[in-house]
Amino acid sequence: MVNKPTMELRWDPTLREWILVSNIRRFRPWQPEGFCPFCPGNPETGYGWRALILENKYPMLMENPPEPGLHWFYKTSKSVGKCYVVVETPEHNINDISDLSVDQIEYVLNMVISKVKEEMSRDYAHYFLWFRNKGKEIGVSLTHPHSQVYVLPFIPNRVSRELESARDYYSEKGRCLFCDILNAELKDSVRIIYDNDHWVSFMPFYSHWPFEVHIYPRRHVQLITELTAEEVRSLAYVLKVSLCGLNHVFSGKSMPYIMVMHQAPLKGSYPFYHMHIEVYGVMRDEGKMKYAAGMETGGGNFTYDSVPEENAQRLRNSVLRNCISVTK
Ligand code: ZN
Ligand code: ZN
Ligand code: FE
């Protein structure tokens, strides 16, 4: 087999979804132990910044990608798009963004919002996925606080399923599915983690992961760019409190998690959709990881080894005990 640089999208015709394929990461140069590319003073970062959005040096998507290989049977497509790294603070030794000030989180949110606005006009930009992987259990190799952005030429699978559900629900009932979920959670109230004037953070009735937290804006908005300055500020606070709660559920340990922002696609109109943030805290108990194994990965359905109402209470207690007094 020839070992040549390849970067393309491959279509899985059985599950009808794209796989992002690239072997260029393997051509990555060796870096000395302890070197941090996100710390101030590197050629890429420089000095005098509060947060940075950098192009990922080893991306899965590029603005001018190589032509995809043509296959006689399978479908392929160009890996056109962008991959960014959001360096959330110049400080290297911070455990999580819940340890940043509300001002700093707000600053980062506004940087992401500017990036969405900038990417929106690009032809290839169909979706802006902002996500954050935290903890070595999730496979994070660089500990400097950062998140990532994938600007995609397609709508990612989970969002596309949500869009379909929301569209169907709307045509059937004339209401937003997410607004109704929010109302149901508020009415039940046992799974609410924290809420303020603009946002509600809760552990959904249908949680997949042990400490799953969804953060919904009370207002029916489709894109992060539509939030008011006050809503952004308020989101910074809810994020800080919710993540702080997660990090304190288990004594002295911090929670490994995946966070993702679900918003409407950048092209077209989706008035029935409602943006939100999802956080998947993956520890189910002190020192015990929940793995997506046979049933979850092989079968595609999650098993939940407790009930969300119990874990929501543990998380709410953690928030009350450790996080509410944090400076606003
Ligand atoms: Zn660093
Ligand atoms: Zn809604
Ligand atoms: Fe979602």
Q: Report pLDDT digits (tens) over 60-97.
A: 999 999 999 999 999 999 999 999 999 999 999 999 99
Residue the block writes with tokens 């959670």: 185
Shared domain for 117 and 180, answered yes or no, is no
What torsion, rounded to 10 degrees, do the Cα atoms 275, 188, 285, 249 define?
70
CA 312 to ligand 1 center in whole angstroms: 33
User: Which ligand lies nearest to the CA atom of residue 170 in the structure?
Assistant: 2
Q: How many degrees, rounded to 5, is the angle at CA 86 between CA 83 and CA 92?
A: 135
CA 228 to ligand 2 center in whole angstroms: 16
User: Which ligand lies nearest to the CA atom of residue 273 in the structure?
Assistant: 2
Give me the mean pLDDT over the 134-138 stretch. Answer: 88
- Partner residues linked to 134 by β-bridges: 257
Shared domain for 120 and 268, answered yes or no, is no
pLDDT for position 28 = 64
What is the distance between the alpha carbons of residues 175 and 4, in angstroms, rounded to a whole number? 51
Q: Would you call 126 a catalytic residue per the annotation?
A: no
Number of Cα atoms under 13 Å in the Cβ half of residue 183: 8
pLDDT at residue 196 greater than cutoff 80 = yes
* 3 within domain boundaries: no
CA 90 to ligand 2 center in whole angstroms: 36
Give me the mean pLDDT over the 248-276 stretch. Answer: 94
What are 243's two structure tokens? 């993540």
Shared domain for 54 and 178, answered yes or no, is no
CATH at 53: 3.30.428.10
Segment 1-33, tens digit of pLDDT: 556 788 999 999 999 999 999 988 776 666 677
* 1 within domain boundaries: no
Shared domain for 70 and 198, answered yes or no, is no
User: Which ligand lies nearest to the CA atom of residue 180 in the structure?
Assistant: 2
**The total number of structural domains that make up the chain:** 2
Higher pLDDT, 52 or 2: 52
CA 273 to ligand 2 center in whole angstroms: 6
Shared domain for 163 and 148, answered yes or no, is no
Shared domain for 169 and 316, answered yes or no, is yes
pLDDT at residue 328 greater than cutoff 90 = no
* 276 within domain boundaries: yes
CA 310 to ligand 3 center in whole angstroms: 22
pLDDT for position 43 = 87
Residue the block writes with tokens 């032809």: 123
User: Which ligand lies nearest to the CA atom of residue 41 in the structure?
Assistant: 1
pLDDT for position 252 = 66
Q: Say if residues 100 and 143 touch (Cβ distance below 8 Å).
A: no
User: Which ligand lies nearest to the CA atom of residue 259 in the structure?
Assistant: 3
Shared domain for 181 and 148, answered yes or no, is no
CA 137 to ligand 1 center in whole angstroms: 19
End residue of a domain, out of 152, 186, 201: 152
* 238 within domain boundaries: yes
Q: How many degrees, rounded to 5, is the angle at CA 278 between CA 281 and CA 24?
A: 85
Question: pTM score, two decimals?
Answer: 0.95
Structural domain harbouring 111: 9-27+35-152
Q: Which of 146, 198, 262, 276 is catalytic?
A: 146
CA 86 to ligand 2 center in whole angstroms: 28
Give the phi and the psi of residue 76 in degrees, each rounded to 5. -130, 165
Shared domain for 260 and 321, answered yes or no, is yes
* Lowest model confidence (mean pLDDT) among 137-146, 155-164, 269-278: 137-146
Shared domain for 138 and 170, answered yes or no, is no
What is the distance between the alpha carbons of residues 274 and 285, in angstroms, rounded to a whole number? 32
pLDDT for position 1 = 52
Higher pLDDT, 139 or 295: 295
Shared domain for 69 and 102, answered yes or no, is yes
pLDDT at residue 326 greater than cutoff 90 = no
* 69 within domain boundaries: yes
What is the distance between the alpha carbons of residues 289 and 311, in angstroms, rounded to a whole number? 15
Shared domain for 144 and 175, answered yes or no, is no
CA 21 to ligand 1 center in whole angstroms: 28
What is the distance between the alpha carbons of residues 254 and 95, in angstroms, rounded to a whole number? 8
CA 278 to ligand 2 center in whole angstroms: 15
What one-character DSSP code corresponds to residue 50?
S
End residue of a domain, out of 91, 126, 152: 152
Shared domain for 230 and 195, answered yes or no, is yes
End residue of a domain, out of 131, 152, 173: 152
End-to-end distance of the chain based on CA atoms, in angstroms? 58
Give me the mean pLDDT over the 20-48 stretch. Answer: 84
Q: How many helices (H) and strands (E) does the chain have?
A: 5, 14
Q: Note residues around ion ligand 3 (Cβ under 5 angstroms).
A: 262
